[in-house]
Amino acid sequence: MIEVEHLSKTYGSTTAIQDITFEARPGEILGFLGPNGAGKTTTMRILAGYLPASEGTARVAGYDVHSDSMAVRQRIGYLPESPPLYPEMTVQGFLTFVAKIKGVSSELRQRRADIAMDHCGLLDKRKVLIRKLSKGYRQRVGIAQAIIHDPPVIILDEPTVGLDPRQINEVRQLIKGLAGSHTIILSTHILPEVSMTCDRVTIINRGQVVATDTPDNLTTRLWGESAYELEIKGDVDTAQHLLNGLAAVRQVTLLGPEHLPQHHHRLRVSAEADRALGGAIATALVSAGLELHELRRQQATLEDVFLNLTTTETLTSTSTEPPIAEASIETQEA
């Protein structure tokens, strides 16, 4: 639905994005993740036909964004970084205006405006001047204008900025609800947003794509192992011996005894990736007469992956190296 090939954009001597390639398949939500200044907005603008690319091509629904600009414009809904609103208009007046210039027929206009307002929770604000709305509501009006003409492709540049947690959740639900019948690409620098809403993620850093995959694949691929943390009561040597004997276990380490009651020990078991060892660990320990107080599976968060990809330049999208320890420490501090 969205195909981006070798896209580059330079402003004078500054390179905003360089040789970006990715695609969004029909009906999916593609997250476009990157730190501030990575080139997210530039890419979004190129896709929306607002900026021309310096090199490369971008196609939306089969139409080139530059040479078939009008065809593309008819098929996209676009929420720019700052929502494009006329402060002196009412919510309803504004949405009707947008429906008009997006080519919604006059019979359908009112209904589409109602649907969009309903989706975005704006029905009780329909007669309010946009000037008087709070930032969160303005953002919602911005989203409403992007979906008012029911476009097959929706481009959202940081859609949850400025919203409170409840609204963020609502907007995420809204975006999820639109998937399937719409192809959505959304940019963000908020990691949980991606893992919660997106089917696939493209991570960009300094204008280049560093990885594209599903959030789950990204985390497992880059973590490279699975790990468990457990708290036991009993003889720690027996436990270590037992655990080392399990298949696929690579290493068992004894963690510091801080904040633990007497005779309690904390262990970390690392194992090969994609191996569910929880059951085996529990059975082995309990059948040996040890008390198991806690067993927790550790997973790399997308945050680890993101920090990895955007702070170390040696890692590329094809890399399968385990992450560098510093990155995960940074994560915990953050």
Partner 1 sequence: MTLILKNILAIYQRELQSYFASPLPYVIAAVFWLLGGFFLVAILLGPQGILAQAAMADQAVQMGMPPSPPFDVAYEFNKAYVGLLGSLSMFVLPMLSMGLYADERKQGTLELLATSPVTNWAVALGKLMAVVSFYIAMVLPLMVCQAVALDAATPPTGSGVFLLSHLGLVLMAASVLALGMFISSLTESTVLAAIMTFALILMLWLVDAIAQGLPGVLGQAIAHLSLLKHFTDFTEGIFDTGGLVLFLSFIVLGLYLTAQSIETLRFQRS
Give me the residues that bind partner 1 (CB under 8 A), please.
11, 45, 48-52, 70, 73-74, 76, 78, 80, 82-89, 93, 97-98, 100-103, 145
Shortest distance in whole angstroms from residue 89 CB to partner 1: 7
Alpha helix (H) residue ranges in 39-89? 40-47, 69-75
Q: How far is the CB of 183 from partner 1 (least distance, A)?
A: 16
Nearest approach in angstroms of CB 73 to partner 1 is 4
DSSP label at residue 132: G
Residue closer to partner 1, measured from CB, 7 or 300: 7
Buried-state track 293-319, b at ≥16 Cβ within 10 A, e below 16: eebeeeebbbbbbbbbbbeeeebebeb
* Structure token digits, residue 180: 């399937």
Nearest to 305 by CA among 198, 180, 209, 221: 221
Nearer to partner 1 by Cβ, of 102 and 125: the residue is 102
State the DSSP H helix or E strand holding residue 270, giving kind and residue range, or none if neither: strand 264-272
CA angle 60/302/147 to nearest 5° reads: 35
The three-state secondary structure class of 55 is strand
How near is the Cβ of 51 to partner 1 at its closest, in Å? 6
Judged by CB, which is closer to partner 1: 51, or 267? Answer: 51
Q: Which is nearer to partner 1, 71 or 288 (CB)?
A: 71
Q: Closest CB to partner 1 among 106 and 318?
A: 106
> By C-beta, is 73 or 119 nearer to partner 1?
73
Residues 238, 291: Cα–Cα separation, whole Å: 12
CA 115: distance to chain centroid? 26
Minimum gap (Å) between residue 184 Cβ and partner 1: 16
DSSP state string for 13-33 = TEEEEEEEEEEE-TT-EEEEE
Min dist CB 71 to partner 1, Å, is 8
Least Å from the CB of residue 4 to partner 1: 17
In which residue are the tokens 């639900």 written? 173
> Locate tokens 């990157």: which residue?
34
Q: Which two tokens stand for residue 89?
A: 């208009």
Of 11 and 111, the one with the shorter C-beta distance to partner 1 is 11
**CB of residue 159 to partner 1, shortest distance in Å:** 15
Which long-range CB contacts under 8 A does 120-126 form with residues at least 24 apart? 120/144, 120/174, 121/170, 122/91, 125/91, 126/90, 126/91, 126/92
**Token pair listed for 307:** 């920090």
Q: Which is nearer to partner 1, 32 or 94 (CB)?
A: 94
For residue 155, the minimal CB distance to partner 1 (Å) is 9
C-alpha span between 78 and 44 (Å, rounded): 9
Distance, in Å, from the CA atom of 315 to the CA atom of 290, rounded to the nearest integer, reads 41
Is the CB of 103 or the CB of 289 nearer to partner 1?
Answer: 103
